[in-house]
Amino acid sequence: NTSESDVTVETLEDVPEHVLRGLPEDVRLFPSAVDKTRLGVWATKSILKGKKFGPFVGDKKKRSQV
């Protein structure tokens, strides 16, 4: 069994600078609503359907890997 004190919580210091620089102005990283130990991507206002932003930097993952 793992105690809660052994759980690592992801913070903004764990996020590479290029990721933070690449976020659209209305998107922020906050604690995830799904996994409290991870950061999640949150919109500070509605994002219109079809809106594109990028470029994507990083490794693409399959849904089963996240």
% residues pLDDT > 90 (the chain): 38
Report d(CA 7, CA 14) in Å as an integer: 15
DSSP sequence for 28-51: EEEE-SS-TTSEEEEESS---TT-
Among the ranges 2-6, 30-34, 46-50, which has the highest mean pLDDT value?
30-34
Q: In the predicted model, is pLDDT for residue 25 greater than 60?
A: yes
Q: What confidence score (pLDDT) does residue 5 get? A: 63
Beta bridge partners of 27: 43
pLDDT, tens digit, for every residue of 43-62?
999 988 988 877 776 788 88
Side-chain-side CA neighbours of residue 62 (13 Å): 2
Q: Find the mean pLDDT for residues 29-43.
A: 93
pTM: 0.61
Give me the amino acid identity at 11.
T
